[in-house]
Amino acid sequence: MSSESRRILVVDNEAETRNVLSRILRREGYECMEAADGEQALVLVRCEPLDAILLEVRMPNVDGLEVLRQISLLDGELPVIIVTADDLLRHAVNALRMGAYDYLIKPVDNVEVLRSVRTALRDHGSNHTRKPLRGLSEQGQEGDCLKNTMGSSGAIATLSAEVSRVACSDFTVLILGETGAGKELVSRAIHAASLRASAPFEAVDCGAIPDTLFESELFGHEKGAFTGSDRTKPGRFEVAGAGTLFLDEISNISRGCQAKLLRVIQEKKVTRVGGTKLLSVAARVVAASNVDLETAVTKGVFRSDLFFRISEFVIRIPPLRERKEDIVFLAQRFEGQASRHLGKVGMHFSEGALHRLQDYSWPGNVRQLRSTVRRAVLLADEQILEEHLGLPAAPPFPAENPNDDVAMPEDGSSLKQIVYRITRMVEKTALVRALGTTGGTKPWQRACSASTTRPCSAR
Ligand SMILES: Nc1ncnc2c1ncn2[C@@H]1O[C@H](COP(=O)(O)OP(=O)(O)OP(=O)(O)O)[C@@H](O)[C@H]1O
Ligand SMILES: [Mg+2]
């Protein structure tokens, strides 16, 4: 079997030792993952298809033998090669008693490392493909938990199945959906259903980070790296450890920063601003966007290579108006929460209010539904009526009207064309709103029916 298909995990708190070992192994064509502590190591053993582990038994605040014990509980067949200092050989002896495959003495010797790894792999066969399959079957039903939070429509059933399928893989995930549709909720569900659940979930709002701070925020910085950096700060990739790094509104990253992000995701290595050490990245990346990234790629504002890297699996959350079956379920849930919060009892929706909720187009999706219901619970005594919802009679924006035939100005339109089209859009919105307030009747129609003397040619 080719060494390229074999994946080795190197566990050591010292970046220097990890680098030396990884370099030796990579030169031989092995794929290397790195973990800086026992917790990261255990998450990677759960999540990643591995063939062997090089484990330092003496790390600060970590009992390496305990890590070894837990690794063998998770996967008794995975060969673990202990790395230790020669004054701590007794650790190696204990580790061998506990089932470790072999041991190496620091400073490590290239030939010894490769000999030990090769024989371990030969004796244990390939573990590489078995691990993700185990993860998937174990997590089979967990994606159903979305039904309890998001609804029971067919769209949510599909979404639940997708979440449970992808959760245990190491695929990057791109979640697409309109604002307020629940992208962060779904990313948290993926993390919770994954084998990384015990590691951190780190959410980064990419739109809120100025370009100049992007690198230091995501990759960290060393003390004195720039004016005002009076202490070393780990980046968000480091903070996420072996957990999930959620990159929200990823379309808001400038092209320059997109290139830097791509390099880190691809190489799984990061260097803090002002630093020289290469730190390994173990977090799984889940990104979200409320703009269509494929179109952004076509327009040249989003790098296609980064798009392909972050979208190994794509999840689309349908807007609320396309899954009307979920509206009543969600509204009743939000009513229950708000009633408990406000100490109200016996609250319920009138038939009219329920119909109104289902008829509305919800441009702000679940977020808007939740705040609408909360306000209604506050305003109503027991029965929530249509008027408590305070929903506008007509869709608030022309773009949400599916029959809208007024096109947005295209790039390259003349100023005159742009002004003409925008004027038409504004006129149309005003007319739609006015018709909404009159229940769809035009004022001159009302005048005609009220007075037979008025000419009706305006119709
Ligand atoms: N199914 C749901 N049940 C309960 N709350 C929900 C649900 N979906 C969304 N929410 C709530 O609606 C709000 C918006 O959800 P979330 O932040 O996940 O949406 P988003 O798609 O990330 O929105 P944005 O694009 O604006 O960031 C949050 O307060 C979230 O708790
Ligand atoms: Mg969000």
pLDDT tens-digit map of 160-216: 999 988 997 889 999 999 999 999 999 999 998 888 888 899 999 999 999 999 999
DSSP state for residue 87 in the 8-state scheme? G
Tokens standing for residue 384: 């929530």
pTM above 0.75, yes or no: no
Q: What is the whole-number distance in angstroms between the Cα of residue 367 and the centre of ligand 1?
A: 5
pLDDT tens-digit map of 61-120: 778 888 888 888 888 889 999 998 877 777 788 888 888 899 888 888 889 999 999 998
Q: What are 175's strand-pairing partners? A: 288, 315
Residue whose CB lies within 8 A of the most ligand 1 atoms, among 145, 185, 292, 328, for a mutation test = 185
Q: In whole angstroms, what is the distance from residue 185 CA to residue 313 CA?
A: 17
Range of 39-43, 260-264, 340-344 with top mean pLDDT: 260-264
Q: Are 373 and 334 in contact (CB under 8 A)?
A: yes
Architecture of domain 3-124: 3-Layer(aba) Sandwich (3.40)
Of all residues in the chain, the percent with pLDDT exceeding 70 is: 80
Measured from the Cα of 185, ligand 1's closest atom is 18
Task: Return the closest-CA partner of residue 131 out of 70, 75, 68.
Answer: 75
Q: Is the pLDDT of residue 367 over 80?
A: yes
* Residues around the ion ligand 2 (C-beta < 5 A): 184, 248
Q: Give the pLDDT band of residue 435 (cuts 50, 70, 90).
A: low
**E-assigned strands of 111-270?**
173-176, 201-205, 220-221, 233-234, 244-248, 269-270
Q: Are 74 and 49 in contact (CB under 8 A)?
A: no
Architecture of domain 323-389: Orthogonal Bundle (1.10)
Q: In whole angstroms, what is the distance from residue 160 CA to residue 146 CA?
A: 6
Range of 146-150, 276-280, 347-351, 439-443 with top mean pLDDT: 347-351
Tokens standing for residue 400: 């949400």
pLDDT tens-digit map of 380-423: 999 999 999 999 876 555 444 444 444 444 444 445 455 555 66
Q: What is the dihedral of CA 270, 271, 273, 276, to 10 degrees?
A: 180
Kindly report the CATH number that applies to the domain delimited by 142-316: 3.40.50.300
Q: What is the whole-number distance in angstroms between the Cα of residue 394 and the centre of ligand 2?
A: 26
What ligand has the least distance to the C-alpha of 326? 1
Report residues whose beta carbon is within 6 angstroms of any ligand 1 atom: 149-150, 177, 179-185, 290, 330, 366-367, 370
Q: What is the whole-number distance in angstroms between the Cα of residue 110 and the centre of ligand 1?
A: 52
Range of 47-61, 72-86, 242-256 with top mean pLDDT: 242-256
Q: What is the whole-number distance in angstroms between the Cα of residue 409 and the centre of ligand 1?
A: 31
Measured from the Cα of 181, ligand 1's closest atom is 21
Q: Are 159 and 186 in contact (CB under 8 A)?
A: yes
Q: Give the pLDDT band of residue 233 (cuts 50, 70, 90).
A: very high
pLDDT tens-digit map of 112-157: 999 999 998 888 765 544 344 333 334 444 445 676 788 888 899 9
